[in-house]
């Protein structure tokens, strides 16, 4: 075997090995392009999925908000009630006007079973005025010595009269709806004062596409939007004793003030007592701070010297 033959054989082996290496390299690198394309397509699909989820979430939130508004009523605005301040008190003239609105507008359907005539003394009326007001009603009392019930004129200890004898009579007179008791209405409803005011002044014509059943009235602040009580406050519906113009907003503000007082008649006394306690505790805090400074001033001003030599 000559030298030339060996050279040709080695060259053939090298060529074969190079071809194998090139095929192996191509087999590893050729699939990279489809994988890269699939990765880009996956990123696009993931982005589209996230965008679709976001849109679905927004639509879901809008649907929930709309259904919540339809179920619980439109959110009422917050009004600046003058008695909501820390040291603010009720407007007693407004309480008196609000009681007049209740008597002439609301009392024919709504009761206030927790309020007595004597509660009005010193708040909105004098004792003589309240006694005269109570004497105008007839109260069933008894039994007498013969075991029979009798009627008598009202007195200060009597509660406000009930418009209906029982719940069944109230529902029958109001088409199945039961007028709630108003003694604690501003506490029994969420955002009570604003809700009651918004409800009384919020009657509107139903928007396009919404039909209200006969006997009901559209009010966006009432849960469901349909309420059995018709609009009761209209400009000039009553005549105030003090000459205040009886506009719808004025009557709504006055009757809500009266109902707020009825639900929380002790508010002014509670605020006054709280202010007194804060004042007394502030004096006690100042005295404690002075006493602490007096007792500890000697120790805090003492200077300790460490003599390491001796």
Residue 254 lies in a domain: yes
| HSE-CB for 259 with a 13 A CA cutoff | 32
Residue 38 lies in a domain: no
pLDDT tens digits, one per residue of 197-224: 999 999 999 999 889 999 999 999 999 9
User: Which CA distances in Å does 262 have to 41, 102, 181?
Assistant: 68, 12, 12
Work out the pLDDT band at 123, boundaries 50, 70, 90: very high
Residue 309 lies in a domain: no
Residue span of the structural domain in which 251 resides: 76-115+165-267
Residue 86 lies in a domain: yes
Residues for the chain: how many in total?
Answer: 310
Of 228, 129, 234, nearest in space to 170 by CA: 228
CA 246/CA 232 separation, integer angstroms: 13
Residue 71 lies in a domain: no
CA 146/CA 158 separation, integer angstroms: 23
Residue 120 lies in a domain: no
Residue 26 lies in a domain: no
What's the farthest any 2 CA atoms get from each other in the chain? 154
pLDDT above 90 covers a percentage of the chain that reads 63
> Looking at residue 99, which CATH number applies to its domain?
1.10.760.10
Kind of pairing, strands 150-153 and 138-141?
Answer: antiparallel
* 294 or 1, greater pLDDT: 294
Residue 61 CB burial class (10 angstroms; 0-12, 13-18, ≥19): exposed
CA 146/CA 230 separation, integer angstroms: 46
Whether cis (ω within 30° of 0) applies to the bond prior to 99 is no
On average, the pLDDT of the chain sits at 84
Query: With the C-alpha atoms ordered 17, 22, 28, 31, is the resulting torsion angle positive or negative?
Result: negative
Token output for 19: 């071809």
pLDDT tens digits, one per residue of 231-249: 999 999 999 999 999 999 9
**Structural domains of the chain, count:** 1
Residue 110 lies in a domain: yes
Asked whether residue 19 carries a pLDDT value surpassing 70, the answer given is no
């Amino acid at each position: 075997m000559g030298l030339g033959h060996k050279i040709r054989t080695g060259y053939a082996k090298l060529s074969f090995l190079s071809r194998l290496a090139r095929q192996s390299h191509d087999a590893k690198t050729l699939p990279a392009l489809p994988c890269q394309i699939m990765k880009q397509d996956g990123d696009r699909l993931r982005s589209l999925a996230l965008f679709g989820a976001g849109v679905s979430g927004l639509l879901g939130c809008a649907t929930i908000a709309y259904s919540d508004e339809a179920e619980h009523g439109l959110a009422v605005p917050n009004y600046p009630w003058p008695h909501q301040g820390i040291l603010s008190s009720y407007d007693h003239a407004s309480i008196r006007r609000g009681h007049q609105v209740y008597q002439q507008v609301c009392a024919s359907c709504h009761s206030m079973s927790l309020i007595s005539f004597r509660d009005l003394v010193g708040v909105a009326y004098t004792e003589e005025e309240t006694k005269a007001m109570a004497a105008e009603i007839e109260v069933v009392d008894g039994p007498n010595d013969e075991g029979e019930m009798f009627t008598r004129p009202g007195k200060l200890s009597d509660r406000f009269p009930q418009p209906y004898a029982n719940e069944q009579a109230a529902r029958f007179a109001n088409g199945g709806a039961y007028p709630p008791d108003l003694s604690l209405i501003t506490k029994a409803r969420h955002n009570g004062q604003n809700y009651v005011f918004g409800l009384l002044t919020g009657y509107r014509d139903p928007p396009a596409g919404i039909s209200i059943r006969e006997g009901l009235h559209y009010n966006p602040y009432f849960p469901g939007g349909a309420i059995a009580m018709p609009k009761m406050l209209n400009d000039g519906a009553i005549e105030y004793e003090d000459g205040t113009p009886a506009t719808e907003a004025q009557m709504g503000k006055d009757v809500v003030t009266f109902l707020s007082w009825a639900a929380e008649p002790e508010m002014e006394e509670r605020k006054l007592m709280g202010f007194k306690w804060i004042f007394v505790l502030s004096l006690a805090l100042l005295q404690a701070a002075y006493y602490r400074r007096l007792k500890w001033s000697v120790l805090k001003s003492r200077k300790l010297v460490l003599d390491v030599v001796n």
